[in-house]
Amino acid sequence: MVNTTLPANIGSAARAMHTMGLSHLTVVDPKLPIDDTSVSHAAGGNDILAAAKITATLAETVSNCQLVFAASSRSRHLPRPVVNPTQAAKIMLDFIDTQNSLSTESKHSAATPPNIAIIFGREDRGLTNEELAFADYHIQIDANPDYPVLNVASAVQVIASFIFAYAQTHQASVIEKSKIDESKMDKNSIEQSNNDNDNDEKLAAPLLNTYIRQQWDEPAITQQQLQQLTQRVTDLMVARNLADSEHLRALPTRLSRLGSRLQLDQKEYQLLSALIAKLIKD
């Protein structure tokens, strides 16, 4: 939660998270500290509120995240891919599955467990363009087009509820698949299973094609590494007179968005870092 105005909203968000099985809350540069009104609104989520982290900057907060979402009720300058809460939940669970599958295959995985952030903005004006640029995806909640704005705690509740619902379905599907002995399935069972899978895919069909490192052999880079790479490419372009350091305009944001779209892994990050270092040195 970024730069919140009302401590009560922090408590209400903690309650929403607890209700939907989420537990890690970070508050970035709040205008007022967590207080008694936060506690009174947290209800059963007081443990989450007590464990909430307070940070100074959003960059610091998401630095070790490999996948970042931002809740936004409207399109902004240089928008990222937009998904609804169901699609966001699917992307998250697929990402977690993929990253966990690498746990025994890469030396990096022990240091980089799946880490996902969802950013929520201010009560009065949401997130700035600079803050939205940290996200790989923007989540928009289907709402009245004449007034699609939710209270920040309500937005937390809605998005968390979709994550919880999808996670339950996802977990049940994983358990069910583990119980099936495919060698004993008859043709009708196979066809029915395929039909069920097709129906599930249709229900969760994204608005855009997404590629979430499903076949990658290394863990994804973190948001901090992406920003470091963006800065190095910017420095390289300035050094080679391809950009003016005094008039970068949207260049860093476009490079960051390109990095999000490429979805680099650790080895790719190392290769590009070495290449950039060589080009700057020469």
Give tens-digit pLDDT for 206-231: 444 555 554 567 888 999 999 999 99
Tell me, yes or no, whether 188 lies in a domain: no
Q: What one-character DSSP code corresponds to residue 136?
A: S
Give the pLDDT band (50/70/90) at residue 98.
confident
pLDDT above 90 for 1: yes
Query: Among the listed ranges 2-6, 171-175, 207-211, 267-271, which one has the minimum average pLDDT value?
Result: 207-211
Q: Which residue in 123, 106, 146 sits closest to 1, CA to CA? A: 123
Mean pLDDT over 133-153 rounds to 92
156 and 229 co-located in one domain: no
Q: Which domain holds residue 274?
A: 223-281
Separation of alpha carbons 109 and 222, rounded Å? 12
pLDDT above 90 for 115: yes
Separation of alpha carbons 5 and 33, rounded Å? 9
Separation of alpha carbons 118 and 101, rounded Å? 23
92 and 230 co-located in one domain: no
pLDDT above 90 for 275: yes
Number of domains in the chain: 2
Q: How many CB atoms lie within 10 A of CB 193?
A: 15
| Last residue of one domain, picked from the residues 164, 186, 213 | 164
pLDDT score at 186: 53
156 and 238 co-located in one domain: no
